[in-house]
A and B are shown apart, each in its own frame.
Chain A
Amino acid sequence: MLDARELAIGYGATEIGSGLSLSVKTGDILCLLGPNGCGKTTLFRTLLGLLPALSGQVLLGGKPITAQRRAEIARQIAYVPQAHAPPFPFEALEVVLMGRTARLGTFGQPGQRDRETALTAMRKLGIGDLAHRDYSRLSGGQRQLVLIARALAQEAPLIVMDEPTASLDFGNQVQVLAQIKALAQEAAGAGHGVILSTHDPDQAFALDARVLLMKDGRTRAEGSASEVLTGENLSDVYGIPVTVETTGSGRRVCLPSLGRQSAPTMTSDAFTMA
């Protein structure tokens, strides 16, 4: 569905990343990991066609994304931004209904069927009762779920999520992750392809996702979570000592060591800079 080949990404003359390739189809979960400023958001914007690639190509449904109209793109790939507060107090259902825009004509209005699609999406995420609540007054977790419902209402096979668990409490994080997993695993053919970014490598283990580990705008490693998320790779990318251990139940967890906090790397950095 989505293929990116040898992308160079950035703004105008400023190149932020290069040599980035990835491929996602329905049923996949691809997890983008990397330190702040490594180019995850810029990559997302490029994949969504919001920012032109400096070189390389994004193919969506086999066609270059640059050759497609906005509505055409939106019918194939949905974007879930970080939970935000819009300037006006729309009802949650109205926000979800905005996901239907790509299926309406330029002068079109969402009709009864669109409302039903939107409500179905909300119920699927267990937030049907929020439909008539003021979106701007919902909690961060509820808003994030509303935005995911909007992506579902968009009925696009691919969903891009920018740090969907940032600013959520522990319980909401788990809920959102569970929904993401369920979205990808839906019954034959109906599953979504999900690309998400996160700051928590444990989430990639929990989702059993494929991982693209980025550093300084380049791919550091790519593959299954257990292949990529090794103590060595994580220590290198984040610049802190990390070990990966397996719990009694067989789940892998990342354990940063706070005691010897980054002393070696910091010192070596300092020497390099001097």
Chain B
Amino acid sequence: MGRGTTADVGLRRPVLSLTSVLALCLAALAFGAVMIGPFALSPGQTVMALLGQGDAQASIVVWNIRVPRVAAALLVGAALAAAGASYQALFRNPLVSPDILGVSAGAGLGAVAGIFLSLPVAAIQASAFVGGMAAVGFVTLVASMVRNTDRTLTLVLIGVVIGALAGAATSLLKVMADPYDQLPAITFWLLGSLAAITTDDILPALPMVLIGLVPLALLRWRINVLSLGDEEACALGIEVGRIRFLVIAAATLITASVTALAGVVGWVGLVIPHIARMLVGPGFGRLLPVSVLIGAGYLLIVDTLARTIAQVEVPLGILTAVIGAPFFVWLLARGRRGWS
């Protein structure tokens, strides 16, 4: 693209090749993840089973267990990374994660209440989704009533407050829950897991995530401008309040949907956008697709580890923290290119 020439009016490096490379890697990873497991499959067996041929047992393992689980991991990772990238731009802070406005705390409370009331799985998921949406809705409502010129800071602080309240209510339910039956289920849910996921669990979450991604993709230029701050974005011609509301609504829909599916999985939405930003820079039009692809691949790897490294399922939240925390420190220590 001839960087130095005067005719060069393009931006940074072409991103299409990187996205296609990442997409290919992702497809390879997904194929590998379908092969791996207690009932190991050869590449040939896997292809046959995916095509609906070959022996029945392999087919059942692939279609009933592995594919739903791989699909769920891809969906959850992609969604959390997309929401994290959006919130980091919106709140102008690279240390922000999708839970900043209390969506995880709300979803956690919803799910824990569902488990406490011994509701069926689908109802627990619905309750988690409603809890996450309600928490953020409540945060934006309270923030709009507080008269403060710094809307963004107000939102974040109210988010912390509502998150803390939801956390307190969750703790209360844990104390009151049956310690032998409900409490382990609650603990496991709060650490996140894709164990026992079925296609029926994924189907409601998938359209929600897609619906949430649409406005984020469409608003990609405005989201860039918003990351300069409210005042400048206003002066550049953006109806800041409206766009911010749209972005929050979309990111919350995405996060609440996958949190209802997988439980609370931390660190993905925080770390992945950083890696994406290192690769393609902060422009949201490039950042969003690359974050989605890397997030999907990352969570797929982590979930495959979670189901294979030990006899028991390791909760996802534990692995993402163990991998994410030191990586994040490394990112900060590199300290190059400002916040990237």
Residues of A participating in the B interface, judged by any CB pair closer than 8 Å: 11-12, 45, 48-50, 69-75, 78-79, 81, 85-91, 93-94, 98-99, 101-102, 104, 106-110, 112, 115-116, 118-119, 128, 132, 134, 136-137, 154
Q: How far is the CB of B6 from chain A (nearest CB, A)?
A: 7
| B236 is an interface residue with CB less than 8 A from chain A | yes
* B11 proximal to A (CB < 8 A): yes
Q: What separation, in Å, do the CA atoms of A110 and B232 have in the docked complex?
A: 18
Which of A11, A48, A85 has a CB less than 8 Å from the CB of B338?
A85
Known: A69-B239, A85-B338, A115-B9. 13 other contacts (CB 8 A): A50-B231, A79-B236, A87-B93, A87-B94, A88-B89, A88-B94, A89-B282, A90-B224, A91-B281, A106-B219, A109-B221, A136-B337, A137-B338
Cross-chain contact A98 with B236 (CB below 8 angstroms): yes
Q: Knowing A73-B237, A85-B338, say if A132 contacts B12 (CB, 8 Å).
A: yes
Minimum Cβ distance to chain A for residue B332 (Å): 14
4 nearest A-B pairs in the assembled complex, by CB-CB distance: A102-B237, A74-B237, A88-B282, A79-B235
Residue of A nearest to B94 (CB): A87
20 contacts between A and B (CB under 8 A): A45-B231, A49-B234, A50-B231, A50-B234, A70-B237, A74-B237, A86-B227, A87-B92, A88-B94, A88-B338, A89-B337, A89-B340, A90-B281, A93-B11, A99-B236, A101-B225, A107-B218, A108-B221, A112-B9, A137-B338
Interface residues of B (CB under 8 A from A): 3, 6, 9-12, 89, 92-94, 147, 149, 218-222, 224-225, 227-228, 231-232, 234-240, 243, 277, 281-283, 285, 337-340
Contact, CB under 8 Å: A88 / B218: no
CB distance from A54 to the nearest CB of B (A): 15
Are B237 and A101 touching (Cβ within 8 A)? yes
Chief secondary structure at chain B's binding surface: loop
| Min C-beta distance of B230 to chain A, whole Å | 9
A117 to B282, CA, bound (A): 22
Q: Which residue of A lies closest to B89 (CB)?
A: A88
B222 touches A101 (CB 8 A): yes
Pair A91/B12 contact, Cβ less than 8 Å: yes
Which residues of chain B are near A88, meaning CB under 8 Å?
89, 94, 227, 277, 282, 338-340
Interface residue from A81, A90, A94, A104 paired with B232 (Cβ < 8 Å): A81
- Shortest distance from the beta carbon of B152 to any chain A beta carbon, whole Å: 12
Look across to chain A and name the residue whose beta carbon is closest to the beta carbon of B219.
A107
Cβ–Cβ < 8 Å partners of A112 in chain B:
9
One of A49, A71, A79, A110 near B221 (C-beta < 8 A): A110
Given A50-B231, A132-B12, does the pair A90, B283 have CB atoms closer than 8 Å? yes
A206 to B234, CA, bound (A): 32
* Measured CA separation A106–B247 after assembly (Å): 13
Q: How far is the CB of B65 from chain A (nearest CB, A)?
A: 40
Which B residues are in CB contact (< 8 Å) with A119?
Answer: 9
Q: How far is the CA of A183 from the CA of B89 in the complex (A)?
A: 33
Looking at A81, A86, A87, A128, which has the most chain B CB atoms within 10 Å of its CB? A87
